[in-house]
Amino acid sequence: MMTTNRKLGLYIHIPFCLSKCLYCDFLSFSGFSDEDQSRYVQSLLMELDWYRDGREKAGGITIDILDYEVDSIFIGGGTPSLISAELIEKLLNKIHENFSVDQDCEITIEANPKTIDRHKLKAYREVGINRLSIGAQSLNPGLLDFIGRVHTPEEFLKNYEEARAAGFENINVDIMFGIPGQSLEIWSDTFQRVLDLAPQHISFYGLKIEEGTPFQLMKQNNELVELSDDLDRKMYALALSKLREPKLNGQCSNYDHYELSNAAETKFHCRHNLKYWSMDEYLGIGLGAHSYINQERFSVTRDIARYQKNNASHIDWRHTNSKEDEISEFIFTGMRKIEGISFQNYEARFGEPISRRYKNQVSKLLRGGLIELTGTGMKLTLLGIDLSNYVLSEFV
Ligand code: SF4
C-alpha cells in the first residue's frame, strides 16, 4: 500500500464495563454477554471496512485512507480488556489489512484490574500491543469501594507485575485525586506507591462530578461532599512535587510533566494523546467515537442499536471547523502541554501572528504571571498551571 507522510491516530471504542463506576460519564455499559461483545466487534470490523480504499461513507464523510499511515492505535473505552484477546486480535488484523500501519506504531490498550490475567497480557503482546494503560485510580481499598470500582489495590499490583512479566515495557497507570473522603495523606500514599512501581507513564486526573452520574445525584441529595478547591489544588501540587523527587534508587526522577495531567519518562510521552493536544488527525471507530480529519470534526452515533444495524448511516454529528474554531482549539489544547505552543507553528498554520487576535489576552496573562514567553512561543507558568481553567478559557 503506497502512503504519504500524513500520520493518523486510530481510536477504537469498546463500550463495555464489568459495572459502572459511580463517577463515570463515559459511554459504556455493563451487563453485556460474550455474544453481545462479539456482535459489537463485528460492527467495528465493518466500520473499519468502510474506510478501506477510501470508500465513501454514508453521511458524506470521505477519507482517502491511502494518504495516511497509522502511527498510533488506542483501544479505549469502557474497559477494552473485558472482551477476549481473540476479539482484540481480530480488530488489529483488520486494521493491518485495511490501513498502512507504521512499523513503530504505538498500540495501546486500556485495561482494568479484574479483567486481565497473565494469559491475556501475553496474548496482547503477541498481537503487537506495546503499551498498556491500567486504571488503578487509587490504592486505598475504602476509596475504591466508595467510587464503585470493582477491584482491589492488590489486584492492580498483581496485574502490574504480570504485565511486566509478559514483557510490557511501556505501562501507564491512571490515578485520581479530589475524591470525596480522600485526604492529602491517602493521595500521597497512592501517588508514592505508583511512583515506586516506576511505570513509564502516569496520568493523574482530578475527579469531577459529571452530570447524569450517581455521584451527581448523591451530591444533589447532600450525600456527598466535594473536596474544597484548596485541598484539590494541594493534591495537584503534591503530585507535581513528587514527580520532581529523586527516585528510590537515588537517581534523579526522569519523569517529564508534559501535559497538565500527564507525566512520563522522556521517550514515553503518549503519542496518541499528544495528537489530541497538538490538533493532529485521528479517526475514531466505534460507538460515540470522535474524529478530526481535514479540519472537520465528526462523531459516531451513541445509539448501540443503530450502530449495530451496520447500514453505514451512523455518523450523527459533523462540523467543519472555521478558521476561528481552529485557532481557539489550537491554543486551548496546545496550552495544556507544559511546553506550550510555538508561535512559528501558529503562524505557519494560520498565516498570521498570534498578536492579531490575542494581543490583549496574552498581555493580560503575562502581566498576571499566568503565562510566560519561551523564546519560541508561550507556555503556562506554575501559577498558570494551577489556574489553568481560567487561563485556557481566555482563548475560547
Ligand atoms: S471502568 Fe472506566 S469506563 Fe468503565 S465505568 Fe469505570 S470509569 Fe467508566
Alpha-helix residue ranges (DSSP H) falling in the chain: 34-50, 85-98, 118-126, 141-146, 153-165, 184-197, 214-220, 229-244, 271-278, 304-307, 323-334, 343-350, 355-367, 382-386, 388-393
Q: Is the pLDDT of residue 330 over 90?
A: yes
Quick one: average pLDDT of 221-245?
A: 93
Rounded distance between C-alpha atoms, residue 13 and residue 258, angstroms: 25
pLDDT digits (tens, 9 = 90+) for 7-33: 999 999 999 999 999 999 999 999 899
What pLDDT, on a 0 to 100 scale, did the predictor assign at position 59? Answer: 62
Q: Can you give the pLDDT at residue 249?
A: 54
Q: What is the pLDDT of residue 50?
A: 84
The predicted model scores a pTM of: 0.95
pLDDT at position 3 over 60: no
Residue nearest to atom 2 of ligand 1 (CA): 78
Give the Cα separation of 57 and 315 in Å (integer): 9
What are φ and ψ of residue 229, in 5° steps?
-60, -35
Helix (H, G, I), strand (E, B) or coil at 138: coil
- Binding site membership of 114 for ligand 1 (Cβ less than 6 Å): no
Q: Which of 93, 84, 91 is nearest to 37 (CA)?
A: 84
Residues of the chain with CATH 1.10.10.920: 322-396
Q: Can you tell me which atom of ligand 1 is nearest the CA of 148?
A: 6
The fold adopted by the segment(s) 6-277 is TIM Barrel (3.20.20)
Asked if 73 contacts 107 with a C-beta cutoff of 8 angstroms, the reply is: yes
**At 379, is the pLDDT very low, low, confident or very high (cuts 50, 70, 90)?**
very high
Return residue ranges of the chain for CATH 3.20.20.70.
Answer: 6-277
In the prediction, which pLDDT does 4 show? 64
What would the pLDDT profile of 281-327 be if each residue is shown by its tens digit? 999 999 999 999 999 999 999 999 989 886 666 888 999 999 999 99
pLDDT for position 2:
54
User: How would you class 332 by CB atoms within 10 Å of its CB: exposed for 0-12, middle for 13-18, buried for 19 or more?
Assistant: middle
Query: Pairing relation of β-strands 201-206 and 262-265?
Result: antiparallel
Pick the residue with more confidence: 179 or 2?
179
Mean pLDDT of the chain: 93
Instruction: Tell me the best of 22, 26, 32, 74 to mutate to test the pocket of ligand 1, counting ligand atoms within 8 Å of each CB and taking the most.
Output: 26
- Give yes or no for residue 21 CB within 6 A of ligand 1: yes
Nearest CA to ligand 1 atom 5: 20
| pLDDT tens column, 40-75 | 999 999 999 888 766 656 566 778 888 899 999 999
Q: Does the CB atom of residue 180 touch ligand 1 within 6 A?
A: no
Rg (CA), the chain: 21
Cell numbers standing for residue 350: 494560520
Ligand 1 within 6 A of CB of 77: yes
Residues 383-393 have a mean pLDDT of 92
pLDDT at 246: 67
Which of 13, 22, 28, 110 most suits a substitution to test ligand 1, by most atoms within 8 Å of the C-beta?
28
**DSSP 3-state assignment of 268?**
helix
Average pLDDT over residues 89-100: 96
> Is the CB of residue 24 below 6 angstroms from any atom belonging to ligand 1?
yes
132 DSSP β-pair partners:
109, 171
Q: For the residues 224-235, what does the mean pLDDT come to?
A: 95
Predicted pLDDT at 312: 61
For the Cβ of 213 lying below 6 angstroms from any atom of ligand 1, the answer is no
pLDDT of residue 12: 98
Residues found in the chain? 396
| pLDDT single digits (tens) 171-205 | 999 999 999 999 999 999 999 999 999 999 999 99
pLDDT for the residue numbered 79: 97
Kindly state the cell numbers that stand for 331: 491554543
134 touches 173 (CB < 8 A): yes
| Ligand 1 proximity of 288 Cβ (cutoff 6 Å) | no
CATH number of 322-396: 1.10.10.920
**What pLDDT does residue 5 have?**
75
Q: What average pLDDT does range 225-231 have in this prediction?
A: 94
- Ligand 1 center from residue 20 Cα (angstroms): 6
The rounded distance, in Å, linking the Cα atoms of 264 and 267 is 8
CA distances from 374 to 240, 241, 340, 341 (A): 21, 22, 8, 9
